[in-house]
Amino acid sequence: MRQLPHLAEIAENTPGLHVVGLYAQVQPLADIERVLTKYNVKFPNAMDSFWDAGYEAPQLPQVWIVGVEGKIIFKGGSGYDEILEKELAKVKYPGLGRSDFHKDLEPAAKAYGAGNYAEAYKLAEAVYDDTEDDKAEEDAEYIIERIDDRIGTLSVRAETAEVMKDYQYAIRCWTELLKYKGMEDAAEAPERLKKLTESEAIKKELAARHELLKVMMDLDVVYQNVDDTDAAKVAEFRKKCIAEYEKFAKENAGTGAGDRAADLVKTFKDLLPKEEEKPAEPPKEAPKDK
C-alpha cells in the first residue's frame, strides 16, 4: 500500500504508460475500495481475475513491466523506477507503436502522440494523397490504419459489451472513443455514452454488478476458514454459495449480474457430490385372504 500513491501518480501523469492493478489477497470489497479511495487510485484494478492473468507472485507487492516490444523486462517488488524510465524513453509517440517515421509524417505522429487523433489523421491523409515517396506513403498509411483500427475495435467492443450487458466496459469504450472527436466513425460516441450513463435501468445493472462482486468476495473471505481437506466442510460451503447466489439471482432477475449469479448456482451445484441412487425396493405383496 505504501507504493500506491507513487503508482497512482505515474499512472496519471506519464504519457505512454498503462498501469493495471491485479488484486491477489482476500478482503471484503468495501475494505479494498476504502484503500483505493484513500490513495486516489484511478487506474483499473482487477478484483477477481489475478490468477486467470497467468502471473506468478511469490511475494507481494509484485510489479511487472511489459516493455515497448511486448515482453516482460522486469519482475520484482521494488527498484523498478530506473528501468521504467529507460523503457519510457523509447516511447517517442505514445500509443503509435513505432518511433521512426518519414520526416513528412513527423507532424502527424506528434499529433497522434499528443492524443489529437483527428488532426493526425488529416495530416497523414494529406501526405498520403500528395507524396510520391514510397516510405512516406507507407508511414502515412500506417498512421491512418492505426486510427481506423482503434476506432473500429473500440466500437465493436462497446457494441458487444452492451449486448452482453457489460455496461461498465461499454462505458469505458465509448469514453475512450470521445478522444477521437472530429472523426466520422466516432461521431456517435457522445450520444451513446450519454444514453448509457443517464439510463436508470443501466444504473441498476451497474449497481447489481458491483453488489455481485461484493457477494463473491465476501464468500472468498468465508472460504479462508474452511478446511479444504474436509469434504463435508467444503460441501457445506458450496451449499452456502448456492444459497447466496440463488438469492442474488432472484433479487436481480433480468440483469446481467443476475444471469451471472444463476450461472454460478449451476457451477456450484455441479461441484456437489452426486447422491448415490438407492436400489428400488420390490413392491410389497398384498396379504392373502385366509
pLDDT at 107: 97
- Please check whether residues 28 and 70 belong to one and the same domain: yes
Q: Using one digit for the tens of pLDDT, what is the confidence trace for 244-287?
A: 999 999 999 988 899 999 999 999 999 998 754 445 566 666 55
- CA distance linking residue 115 with residue 213, whole number of Å: 34
Answer yes or no: are the C-beta atoms of 264 and 219 closer than 8 Å. Answer: no
Residue 218 belongs to some domain of the structure: yes
Answer yes or no: are the C-beta atoms of 80 and 66 closer than 8 Å. Answer: no
Distance set, CA 223 to CA 43, 217, 219 (Å):
28, 10, 6
Give the CA dihedral 125, 129, 132, 137, nearest 10 degrees: 30
First to last CA, the chain: 88
Name the CA radius of gyration of the chain, rounded: 27
Residue where one domain finishes, among candidates 177, 198, 219: 198
- Please check whether residues 158 and 224 belong to one and the same domain: no
Q: How many CA atoms lie within 13 A of 283 on its CB side?
A: 3
- Please check whether residues 129 and 190 belong to one and the same domain: yes
- CA distance linking residue 61 with residue 19, whole number of Å: 14
pLDDT at 78: 84
- CA distance linking residue 136 with residue 28, whole number of Å: 55
Which grid cell is 210? 458491483
Residue 284 belongs to some domain of the structure: no
pLDDT at 276: 44
pLDDT at 285: 63
- Please check whether residues 22 and 51 belong to one and the same domain: yes
- Please check whether residues 189 and 263 belong to one and the same domain: no
Pick out the chain residues at pLDDT < 50.
Answer: 276-278
pLDDT at 277: 43
Count of domains observed in the chain = 3
Residue 279 belongs to some domain of the structure: no
pLDDT at 53: 59
Show the domain range for 84.
4-88
Q: Could you tell me whether strands 45-46 and 21-22 are parallel, antiparallel, or unpaired per DSSP bridges?
A: parallel
Residue 288 belongs to some domain of the structure: no
- Please check whether residues 259 and 186 belong to one and the same domain: no
Residue 287 belongs to some domain of the structure: no
CATH of the domain at 53: 3.40.30.10
Q: Using one digit for the tens of pLDDT, what is the confidence trace for 191-226?
A: 999 999 999 999 999 999 999 999 999 999 999 999
Residue where one domain finishes, among candidates 173, 198, 223: 198
Residue 53 belongs to some domain of the structure: yes
pLDDT at 281: 63
- Please check whether residues 70 and 109 belong to one and the same domain: no
pLDDT at 59: 80
pLDDT at 138: 97
Check residue 133 and report its DSSP letter. Answer: -
Residue 280 belongs to some domain of the structure: no
- CA distance linking residue 259 with residue 255, whole number of Å: 6
Run of H or E residues at 65: strand 63-66
> Which long-range contacts does 156-161 make (Cβ < 8 Å, 24+ apart)?
158/192
Helices (H), 55-115: 81-88, 106-113
